[in-house]
Amino acid sequence: MQSNTFSQLIQTSQTKLNTLLDLTASEAKFEAQLLLLHVLNKDRAWLITHENDVAQSNINEAFQALLNRRLNGEPIAYILGYREFYGLHLKVTPDTLIPRPDTETLVEAALSKIPLHTSQTQNIHQKKTILDLGTGTGAVALAIAKNRPLANVIAVDISQAALNVATENAKSLNISNVQFILSDWLSALNGQRFDLIVSNPPYIEGSDAHLQQGDLRFEPLSALASGCDGLDDIRQIINHAPQHLNAGGWLMLEHGYNQVGHVASLLKQAGFNEVSHVLDLSGVNRVTIGQI
């Protein structure tokens, strides 16, 4: 194999990533750098001062192996084994959905309903209890728990493999106010009530062509697709949530850009009030909330 500097390696792989995957030139360069830094076990600052170093053959081979996986479409988050979400470094595996920036909208919406405890307000506000349904990597539950250390967060998932990843994330981030429970939506939570229930459930239509494209091909289908209209799980959550909310409690659901009307009417039919929508970073109605 011909010897290359790190900078040359990045340039040739940037071109391949840009041509073969649906990535912009800057995304392609960023991904090429991430893969190389992963192999080198170094950070970006290091690369700036070493970009003209020649890559040793073992590094080059390991890098080409990761690059080929990426060129075959495997998500970069699964190759690297992590994803940043709401300032948290989260382990991700093929057992978990890859956390999306859009879902940070759900975290923001939840935090806006949980007062920040200060020494003055500590005695006035009771500790809030929050439930995250279908937690996956734990992304939403951990982001809420980290930013509201006095809240008690329960996070459930139907997949024990996902819960293992979420538990590992809580440990490595040193977040102790989250408890993980194996449950098919609310089924294992008989008699328990919360102040806030949040969920990023599967909501893609079963026949949606996007399921056969990009990262989605590699992610757990059970975390993405939900029946013909994508609303099977959302319907189930909305129907059961009222028995698990305290008076005045909120349900907050992430959903598809075209499901906003459906989710709002399902919430109203189930007795929720104050139904409103929250825009994601791209200006799309991504989260709908209602109060019981």
Helix (H) or strand (E) holding 287: strand 285-291
Which residue's CB is nearer to ligand GLN, number 102 or number 232?
A: 102
Beta-bridge partners for 4: none
Q: Which is nearer to ligand GLN, 139 or 196 (CB)?
A: 139
| Amino acid residing at 212 | Q
Q: Which is nearer to ligand GLN, 75 or 290 (CB)?
A: 75
Closer CB to ligand GLN, residue 184 or residue 274?
Answer: 184
CA Rg value for the chain: 21
Q: Which residues bind ligand GLN (CB under 6 A)?
A: 100, 102, 200, 202-204, 216, 224, 254
**Interatomic CA distance for residues 282 and 101, integer angstroms:** 10
Distance, CA of 172 to CA of 233 (rounded, Å): 31
Pick 131 or 216: Cβ nearer ligand GLN: 216
What DSSP string runs through 208-259?
Answer: -GGGGSGGGGGS-GGGTB-STTS-HHHHHHHHHGGGGEEEEEEEEEE--TT-
Say how far apart CA 89 and CA 77 lie, in whole Å.
11
Residues belonging to the chain: 292
C-alpha span between 115 and 216 (Å, rounded): 36
- Output the six-digit token pair for 258: 């075209």
The helix/strand/coil state of 152 is strand
Q: Which is nearer to ligand GLN, 195 or 254 (CB)?
A: 254
Nearer to ligand GLN, 100 or 193 (CB): 100
Question: Smallest distance, Å, CB 27 to ligand GLN?
Answer: 16
Task: Give me the helix-helix angle, 139-147 and 104-112, nearest 10°.
Answer: 40
From the CB of 234, what's the least distance to ligand GLN, in Å? 10
In this structure, is the dihedral angle defined by the CA atoms of residues 144, 147, 148 and 151, taken in order, positive or negative?
A: positive
- Cβ 269 to ligand GLN, closest distance in Å? 22
- Distance, in Å, from the CA atom of 263 to the CA atom of 149, rounded to the nearest integer, reads 30
Q: How far is the CB of 168 from ligand GLN (least distance, A)?
A: 21
Shortest Å distance, C-beta 240 to ligand GLN: 18
Q: Which is nearer to ligand GLN, 30 or 218 (CB)?
A: 218
CA–CA separation, 122 vs 27, rounded Å? 45
Q: How far is the CB of 6 from ligand GLN (least distance, A)?
A: 32
Closest distance of CB 224 from ligand GLN, Å: 5
Q: Least Å distance between CB 254 and ligand GLN?
A: 6
